[in-house]
Amino acid sequence: MTVVLRLPRELRPELRRPWGTLYPRPSIKTYRRLHEESEVLITVGDMTTRSFLRCSIRPDVAVVDRKMLRTVPVDPGNKFPVTLDVNNPPGTITREAWDTVRRGIDYALDGDATLIDVTGEEDLLAIPAILIAPENSIVCYGLPGEGMVAARVTQHLKDSVLRLLTRFRGYDEWKSRSWISGITPCCTAKR
């Protein structure tokens, strides 16, 4: 049986608050600065990924579902040497998706930019990206109607995101099974 973390309805408002700096209309300079300042640059979402690519900046890890606002198809092209495919239903984080984010970050740390192509929904995968990425990485994601958020990964941010994750449905089962299989909720990718 696959262990799935499910977002409870009551947590949705908390996810609408940015975990980093909100850029209503990022400039090319902003994209370049974020790229230069990040240990690993991770983009979650098609619009965010496309915005970096349009500035000739390839994220180290890009997590997309090839749709913007759930409908408009998006093609990131063949700009990534590694592509990983994963299923992740809306409102969830599956163990497979979590492991795929980890693999993508591992590839990036080895120098291979990685596209994670999600069938379903990628929005919540910013959570494992933050918890897995090494400190000083930057996770960028869109906040609909607001702009782009750039979250610098720190231990403080990891602790905050983990506290939120503990309130997801299925967390206790996930945590116990993760320990058995050697997966821990706030592990870091190899450095």
In a domain, 157, yes or no: yes
42 within domain boundaries: yes
Instruction: Tell me whether residue 114 is in a domain.
Output: yes
Annotated binding-site residues read: 46, 65, 67, 122
The letter for the amino acid at 69 is L
Residue 189's pLDDT is 47
Write out the two tokens for 151: 């979250």
The answer to whether residue 148 sits within a structural domain is: yes
- pLDDT confidence band for 5 (50 / 70 / 90): very high
pLDDT at site 106:
97
Which pLDDT band, with edges at 50, 70 and 90, does 68 fall under? low
pLDDT of residue 181: 42
CA distance 185 to 119: 23
Residue 186 placed within a domain: no
pLDDT (average), residues 56-75? 79
Token couple for 97: 């998706």
Torsion on CA atoms 170, 171, 177, 179, rounded to nearest 10: 180
Binding residues for GTP: 46, 65, 67, 122
Q: How many CB atoms lie within 10 A of CB 153?
A: 26
Q: Which two tokens stand for residue 25?
A: 């209309």
Q: How many domains, the chain?
A: 1
Nearest to 47 by CA among 22, 26, 67, 30: 67
pLDDT tens digits, 90-122: 999 999 999 999 999 999 999 999 999 999 999
Residue 10 lies in a domain: yes
| Mean pLDDT computed over every residue of the chain | 89
Whether the full predicted model's pTM is greater than 0.85, yes or no, is yes
Answer yes or no: are the C-beta atoms of 114 and 145 closer than 8 Å. Answer: no
Q: Which domain holds residue 47?
A: 4-180
User: What integer pLDDT is reported at residue 88 of this predicted model?
Assistant: 96
Averaged pLDDT for residues 30-59: 96
Q: Which residues pair with 41 in a beta bridge?
A: 138
Please check whether residue 95 is in contact with residue 116, taking contact to mean a CB–CB distance below 8 angstroms.
no
User: Does 189 reside within a domain?
Assistant: no
188 occurs within a structural domain: no
pLDDT at 72: 56
Contact 127, 42 (CB under 8 A): no
